[in-house]
A = this chain, B = another copy of it.
Amino acid sequence: MALTFDIEARSATSNARTGRVTTAHGSFETPAFMPVGTRASVKGVFPSQVADTGAEIILANTYHLLLRPGHELVARRGGLHPFMNWNGPILTDSGGYQVYSMGDLNEVDEDGVVFKSIIDGSKVRLTPERSMEVQHALGADIIMAFDDCPPSVDPRTFNETRKRLTAQRSKRDRDAYDHAERLDLANERTIRWLERCAEAHASSGRDEIQSLFGIVQGGTDFEKRAWSAERVCSVELPGYAIGGVAVGEGFEEIVSVVRHTAPLLPVEKPRYLMGVGYERDLVAAVRAGCDMFDCVLPTRNGRNANAFTPTGQIKLRNAGFAEDDGPIDPECDCLACSGGGAGPGPARGPFSRAYIRHLVMAGEMLGPMLVSIHNLRHFQRLMLDIRQTIRDDAWSAFARRWPVAAEGIDDPDQQ
């Protein structure tokens, strides 16, 4: 087996559990939050600093690496691990989501997808077999099935709508478009593509060192989710993921879909909720029985100088922080908040909000670097506390320490 999952403790009052996933490149504790290193780099953070935040596994994106520098070039370097100097576990996505979210969807048919390169406009074909081939070349410990992610809007107006939605950063207005038929097709096609992925993976021999996870789709429809979960889990795999969540829905909808779907996945295998999310989402999903998460929020918001704290995000650009000598979060032990100064003098204090604001306003790289590290540590500290809270089943105390996540607990006083 390329992957083992040992459950270590279970919450008595929820479906949450702690455990350890072991891969060819070491193990990681669950529930786990995976920082995103889209192009083989967690943006603005050294690999050693990523590890210092407590992250034990990171994610990289097949779509981006296929385009640049190319999976074959990475393979000739010995794969992603030596290439990016990260010797711990790595997970790659399949490219399915990026084909949907980033490029103009030129053609999708039963065989696969042809998309336009975001770099040079050239046409690139991605199929289940091709996604496996690329992910084998990249060499991640966990690889994902290639799924059919339909646009959530009418394809004829997709580009315009996507542009508008991106500009607004608002939810996608699903209800404005009749795309039920396309969703059904995608849901069924995702199963056929999973079977092709599984066959390509098994016949490659790479399944001895890389582990394929299947992805359950179905949107916000409980019946479709149940149908997808049953079909996906009928393919014997070392882990399963919930996809198509947090693509525009609100908190309540995310939670209801995850609570419905997670228990439909095998209890003895790791459950990965893709692309999620905010603190309350993570806590709710952990309590629903999910074990793995990834999200770009820590580094994306870090680059925008938005810092996470247990009571919510703060915008360090705000003039109110110009003379604030405190650290981002006095409870935090990251490099930015707890020190990291240099030189022979006596004190090595934290970096102040005033200094970080100055860096950001002046366009200095060190600003995003500091906030990104802080944000990554924020999420790892959250996961650390979640794992301890599962062992103790002490959710109300957890909710007091993390007000920003309290909403993720249906009834913190249940115990």
Number of identical protomers: 2
Interface membership of chain A positions 130-141, coded 1 if the CB is closer than 8 angstroms to chain B and 0 otherwise: 000000000000
Told that A43-B364, A69-B358 touch, could you supply 12 new A-B pairs with CB distance under 8 A? A26-B344, A26-B345, A43-B365, A46-B335, A48-B341, A56-B343, A68-B361, A69-B361, A77-B325, A84-B355, A85-B341, A87-B344
Q: Which residues of B contact A50 (CB under 8 A)?
A: 342
Residues of B within 8 A of A355 (CB): 40, 77, 83-85
Q: A40-B358, A43-B365, A323-B73 are in contact. Are A87 and B342 (CB under 8 A)?
A: yes
Chain A residues packing against B (C-beta within 8 Å): 25-27, 39-41, 43-48, 50-52, 56, 64, 68-69, 73, 76-77, 81-89, 322-323, 325, 335, 339-349, 351-352, 354-355, 357-359, 361-362, 364-366, 368-369
Q: Label chain A's interface by main secondary structure.
A: loop
Q: Establish whether residues B43 and A343, one from each chain, have CB atoms under 8 Å apart when the complex forms.
A: no
Measured between C-beta atoms, what is the minimum distance from A345 to chain B in Å? 3
Which residue of chain B has its CB nearest to the CB of A351? B85
Which of B51, B361, B362, B368 contacts A343, CB < 8 Å?
Answer: B51
Chain B min CB distance to A24 (Å):
9
- For residue A47, which residues in chain B have a CB less than 8 angstroms away from its CB? 340-343
Asked whether A354 and B46 contact (CB < 8 A) given A39-B364, A88-B345, A361-B68, the answer is no
Question: In chain B, what residue has the closest Cβ to A50?
Answer: B342
A87:B347 contact, CB within 8 angstroms = yes
Which residues of B lie under 8 Å from residue A45 when comparing CB positions? Answer: 366
A87-B25 contact, Cβ under 8 Å, with A340-B47, A355-B40: no
CB pairs A–B below 8 angstroms (10 shown): A25-B345, A43-B366, A45-B366, A47-B342, A68-B361, A77-B352, A77-B354, A85-B339, A87-B343, A365-B368
